[in-house]
Structure 1
Amino acid sequence: MKNNRNMFTIAIKSIGFAWQTNRRLLILLMLFNIFQGAVVYLQFTSFASIVDEIIRIKQGTGTTNQLVWSSVVLGLSFLVPLIIGNIASHYRMIFRMQQSVQLELYKIERQGKLDIGTIESSSYQNLLRSAQEWGTGSLLNLQDFFFNSANNFAGIITSITILWSLNQWLVVFAVLAAAPVYFFYKKYSMEVFRIRYFSIDDHRIINNRISHFEELQKAVDVILLKLQNWLKGQIRDRKVAFNNKIIVAERKKAISYSIMSLWYLLFLFAAIALMTREALADRIAVGGLLLAFTTYTRFYQTINGYIESISYAEEASRYAARWFDLFDMQPRIVSKQNAARFDITEPPLIEFDNVSFRYPAEEGETPLVLQQLSFTIKPGEKVAIVGVNGSGKTTLIKLLCRIYDPTEGNIYVNGINLKDIQLEDWQSALGILFQDFPVYNLTIRESIGVGRIEENGELPTQKEERLKQAALYSGADDFIKDYDQLIWKEFAGGIDLSKGQHQRLAVARMFYRNAAVTILDEPTASIDAVTEEKIFSTLERNMQGKTVILITHRFSTVKNADKIILLEQGRIIEYGSHKELMQLHKQYASLYNMQAKRYLENDEPAPADTTSLID
């Protein structure tokens, strides 16, 4: 019963969302369902009255008026539920739409409050993927279960009342006939759902293999590498294995339901015998006999249908529970209650004081990624962070952005511990371009403009001038013909950009943001050498007085930095200007000369990224 209790708990939570959205409509829909569950028995009783009245008329004791009245009631018992059902369907559609919007906005609100470290965690990602199996529709399906429950309970109570009024033993027979439904359902019907539930990973793999035929980049490999038969075999084998499990479970279910049907028939015959005896003894009329039979069979169908619906509700509750778990997640990185407000318009002094860091783990302890880092970035300095892959460069930036907090040591901004500064204030002072930059499927104007979406009192003409200036600095102006052009081939009239062009737009966003501290993580990885030189020249000319922190593998781009930090396995092994580090003749000089030699030995210049817009 634990699963059922959990299901009802989750269902009640989903109803809580419904109550907050539109409580009046929720109550109205509940009343509609109660009415529809009970009114069907009015049809039975009305028809029974007509039959009895016809017999009485033939016997000379009945009246035509009573027959007409019973006929009118019977007609209304069909007409009114039909009208109410149409009204209920209309309002249920409106209610689901309202709920869908409310849930989606609430989900976005809750996810928007999480910090990046929480979003990066494996627990969050696993929970999100599990919740997305059914989407937020699983919450709406649980609300449907409540509405159906109201309908079914109204029918069950009404049918028990009718049977009890005719003969109390009919209630006993009906309950005994329906009792095994729950136990057979738990033993066999749930097995099918367990198979589906525990086969989620198989379905993910199947969907992944199918995506190779549907997604353009994957489809190219399928065609060129002749992977069709191999992928088809994987899809077939997993689908066949899954189907065989379902067939076995369904066979058991069919056998169990056959046994249950025999049990039902046993009590049905007993009920029919009882009804017949009562009718022969004139304790119930012929119409009452019909009423007893239809009510008895309807009772069983209602019980059976309701218990069957529990299976779908339990399935929905599993995924809905994941959404509620996501909604309940709290960010790990938050501002302190009395955090200092920080209006950073000028580049601050940044100090790393003996900072060490390890990524948080769900279990156990991960190794240190950064170890005892101590250095200072003066206001307006250009600092380059270099090192081989895995040396800790991006992790250092994540600490500076306060995506994570140091495991040991502290980071100070103008002498204030970064943990004591209002998080939003600090992040608003940063302009960040990570290597894995997002692609916004917006207009070109909007794609650049999201770099500083909040209002800052500028006139539209000033914003337009700054936006075009950002495009000029990044080299994006070379391919922009229309700033209102949509970016995405799937849009009507949209265009595709090359990866390098997308990166130039990302750099333009950074220029448009014009932050006090600009952080660039491999900003020119997909850009040709000519544009790269243009961007870095622009940085030197137009970022005077601004703090710029650059992460790169290209040592040729860091020569003009004020300070260079060379990381190796999370430690600073060299720190100084390009000239100072070259004079040391150590690791930095070796890496720089290695790259310079490779460029000199290349007879042909690197090809320029000349990919143009494709309409």
Structure 2
Amino acid sequence: MKSSKNIFSVTIRSLSFAWQTNRRLLLLLIFLNVFQGAIVYLQFTSFSAIVDEIVRIKQGLSDTTGLIRSSVILGLSFLVPTIVGNVVGYFRMKFRMQQSVQLELYKIDKQGGLDIGTIESNSYQTLLRGAQEWGSGAVLNLQDFIFSSATSFAGIITSIGILWSLNAWLVLFAVLASAPVYFFYKKYSMEVFRVRYLSIDDHRVIGNRISHFEELQKAVDVILLKLKTWLKDQIRDKKVTFNKKITVAERKKSISYGVLSLWYLLFLFAAIALMTTEALAGTIAVGGLLLAFNTYTRFYQTVNGYVESISFTEEAARYAARWFELFELRPKITSKANAQRVSFPTPPRIEFRNVSFRYPNESGESPLVLQQLSFTIEPGEKIAIVGVNGSGKTTLIKLLCRIYDPTEGGIFINGTDLRDLNLEDWQSAIGILFQDFPIYNLTIRESIGVGRIAANYDDDRLRQAARFSGADEFITDYDQLIWKEFKGGIDLSKGQHQRLAVARMFYRNASITIMDEPTASIDAVTEEKIFSSLESNTQGKTVILITHRFSTVKNADKILLLEHGKIIEQGSHRQLMQLAGKYADLYTMQAKRYLESE
């Protein structure tokens, strides 16, 4: 019962999209489908009338007037549905395309309103993958169901009326013959759904393995490391296992269908016997016998088709439910109702007070990633955060950007808790470049300009940003498309993409600029140029730099050394070297390696 209610609510919600998109076209399609469902029975009644007229003419009881009239009606009963069917097909195609656009825009709107922490969560990624694998077609199929329902209901009601007019027992026989159809399709649908749903992980593995042959970087490894046979065997094994499960479900379907057919034949023979007896007794005419047979078989076919569509709709509803679960997610990090509106033409004072943090874990409590962090960033300071992998550097930045909120303690901006500030205002004041930066397949002008997309492109600022990042060395045309799959497009190296990403930060010109390993893929000469630009062109702005390269942080006003989520040392490069602690050891180790390399 609960499953039926959920499926019903999902179907209604899906249909609401149809109503909101184009209600006039929706109502027109419903009317046309009702017409289609009913008019087919005109063929049976007109043909039975023709047979009766022929018999009457041979008996000398009638002329050809009635025969001609019934023949014309029979011809129209074939012509009109064909015309209406073409019209319905066109409008359904048009309506489906409109729905597809609306659904995609709705999904984008919902996804765009989520916070980064929610997007990073395992539950969201699982829902997203499921929605992507099942596709939006499930939602569109739910909307199509109303049209097939209109056609089927019209056909069922019309056929019941005809059978009742001939003999009420025919209605009973037809209903009993059709009764098991729903349970058969429901059981089969659920079994197939379970097979597919429980095989999601297998399909993910298959998709991942196939991607090694389709994505350039992975394909190179496949060739060089001779991975083809190994990957092919994994793909084959997963697919064979899945196909075996589907084969078992199909075998059960075939056996059940055979039993169902015998049940139907039992009542069909009963109906034929009843109508033949009445025809021999003269209760009905020969044409009536034909009408009864055609209507009876058509009734079963209509019910069978409609129940099958219900079964598929239930399956589609289960898939579509994953889409709606995705839509129902709400951001966890939001602005308070009375959040303070702020702007930062100049950098604010930033203070971490006893900040601890653990990542949200849906299966239990995760360990602390940051522990009791307390430090201050004065307006316009250049701060470097260093430490080995896993020390908590990037997590600290995520808290400052309010991607997450601290588990304990607080972050204060000019003395106000960050959670009390308007989220959009605060994030507008920040420019951040993560180590895993996105690559935009746009023109070079657009790729830099997205750093401050709300503003009109400023060519002088664009060129200046490219010069500061060293990207001007390879840019020959700012309208050049990036991506060789575009006509006239080009591919850039990872280092060139990183220069464009740094250029975006210069173009953004934020009060607070945060860079996480901004030169990881950049050569030493360009790296020196970028850091020189940072020093000379960010005067009066706060710059926070995360890096593994200790040689790049010597000029920072303050250096924070993190280890296991704690600040173990902080101060200027000179102060920390004089301290002769962990920072000095790491710096000396790297410097020694560079010298040995030289």
TM-score band by shorter chain is over 0.9
Confirm or deny that 1:417 pairs with 2:412: no
Query: Partner of 1:610 in structure 2?
Result: none
Gaps of 5+ in 1: 604-615
Match runs of 1:330-349 below 5 Å: 330-349=330-349
Partner residue of 2:402? Answer: 402
Using the size of structure 1 for normalisation, the TM-score is: 0.95
Contact 1:474-1:504 at 8 Å conserved across structures: yes
Alignment of 1:519-558 (within 5 A): 519-558=514-553
Question: Shift in Å at residue 225 of structure 1?
Answer: 2.2
SS class of match (1:526): coil
Stretches (4+) displaced over 6 A: none
**Counterparts of 2:431 and 2:9 in 1: how far apart (Å)?**
44
1:359 aligned residue: 359
Structure 1 residues 192 and 402: CA distance shift in structure 2, 3 A:
closer
The answer as to whether partners of 1:392 and 1:569 remain within 8 angstroms in 2 is: yes
Alignment of 1:124-139 (within 5 A): 124-139=124-139
User: Within 1, Cα distance between the matches of 2:345 and 2:27?
Assistant: 53
Q: Residue 570 of structure 1 corresponds to which residue in structure 2?
A: 565
Instruction: Report the CA distance between 1:466 and its aligned residue.
Output: 0.4
Deviations 1:477-497 (CA, angstroms, capped at 9, x unpaired): 000011000000110110000
Matched with 1:224 is 224
TM-superposed CA distance for 1:374, in Å, is 1.0
Q: What TM-score, normalized to structure 2?
A: 0.98
The 5-angstrom pairing of residues 584-603 of structure 1 reads 584-603=579-598
Aligned partners of 2:99 and 2:200: how far apart in 1? Answer: 27
SS in 1 for 2:431: strand
Q: Which residue of 1 aligns with 2:53?
A: 53
Q: Does 1:15 align with 2:15?
A: yes
> 1:133, 1:319 within 8 Å by CA — same for their partners in 2?
no
Of residues 501, 504, 511 in structure 1, which corresponds to 2:499?
A: 504
State the SS of the aligned residue for 1:360.
Answer: coil
Aligned to 1:608: none
Q: Using the TM superposition, give the Cα deviation of residue 192 of structure 1 relative to its aligned residue in structure 2, in angstroms.
A: 3.3
* Contact 1:474–1:534 (Cα < 8 Å) also in 2: yes
Contact 2:189 2:312 in 1 (8 A): no
Q: Which amino acid aligns with 2:347?
A: P
Post-superposition offset of 1:561: 0.4
User: Paired residue for 1:393?
Assistant: 393
Please say if 1:464 is aligned against 2:459: yes
Q: How many residue pairs end up in the alignment? A: 598
Residues 189, 413 of structure 1: alpha-carbon distance in 2 compared, 3 angstrom cutoff: closer
Question: 1:131 Cα deviation (Å)?
Answer: 1.2
Q: After TM superposition, give the deviation of residue 411 of structure 1 in Å.
A: 0.9
My pick for the range that moved more, 60-69 or 76-85, is 60-69
Following TM superposition, by how much is the alpha carbon of 1:188 offset from its aligned partner in structure 2, in angstroms?
A: 4.3
1:37 aligns with 2:64: no
After TM superposition, give the deviation of residue 5 of structure 1 in Å.
Answer: 3.1
Could you tell me which residue of structure 2 aligns to residue 252 of structure 1? 252
Q: Secondary structure at the match of 1:132?
A: helix
Give the Cα–Cα distance (whole angstroms) in 2 for the partners of residues 59 and 414 of structure 1.
106
Aligned to 1:607: none
1:313-338 residue CA offsets vs partner (Å, 9 max, x unmatched) = 22221221111111111100111111
In structure 1, the residue corresponding to 2:231 is in which secondary structure? helix
Alpha-carbon distance between aligned partners in 2 of 1:272 and 1:601, rounded to the nearest angstrom:
99
2: CA distance, partners of 1:226 / 1:374: 51
Conserved 8 A contact 1:356-1:408: yes
- Establish whether residue 163 from structure 1 lines up as the match of residue 144 from structure 2: no
Tell me if structure 1 keeps the 8 A contact 2:512–2:541: yes
Q: Distance in 2 between matches of 1:483 and 1:592?
A: 40
The one-letter amino acid of 1:126's match is T
Going from structure 1 to structure 2, the CA distance change for 1:420 and 1:254 (only over 3 Å counts) comes to same
Moved more, 492-501 or 256-265: 256-265
- 1:123-272 paired onto structure 2 within 5 Å: 123-188=123-188, 190-272=190-272
What is the deviation of 1:220?
2.0
Task: Find the counterpart in structure 1 of residue 432 from structure 2.
Answer: 432
Deviations 1:167-225 (A, max 9, x none): 00001111111112223333445433432332222222222222222222222222222
SS in 1 for 2:561: strand
- Counterparts of 2:403 and 2:24, CA distance in 1: 43
Contiguous gaps of at least 5 residues in structure 2:
none
- Distance in structure 1 (CA, Å) of the matches to 2:245 and 2:553: 61
Query: What is the deviation of 1:238?
Result: 2.3
Is the deviation greater in 472-481 or in 192-201?
192-201
Amino acid of the structure 2 residue aligned with 1:602? S
8 Å CA contact retained: 2:39, 2:81? yes
Q: Are 1:566 and 1:575, in contact at CA under 8 Å, matched by a contact in 2?
A: yes
How many Å apart are 1:570 and its aligned residue? 0.8
Letter in 2 for 1:424: E
Q: Check conservation: 1:193, 1:311, Cα contact below 8 A.
A: no
The alignment partner of 1:372 has SS state of: strand
Give 1:390 shift. Answer: 0.8
1:261-280, CA deviations, whole angstroms, 9 ceiling, x for partnerless residues? 11111111110000111111
Q: How much identity, in percent, do the aligned residues show?
A: 77
Letter in 2 for 1:517: I
Aligned residue in 1 for 2:63: 63
SS of residue paired to 1:439: coil
Native 8 Å contact 1:189 1:253 kept in 2: no
Q: What pairs up with 1:286-297 in 2 under 5 angstroms?
A: 286-297=286-297
**Aligned residue for 2:379?**
379
What is the deviation of 1:35? 1.3
Cα distance in 2 between the residues matched to 1:288 and 1:152 = 23
Amino acid at match of 1:149: S
Corresponding residue of 2:73: 73
- In structure 2, what is the Cα distance between the partners aligned to 1:193 and 1:114? 30
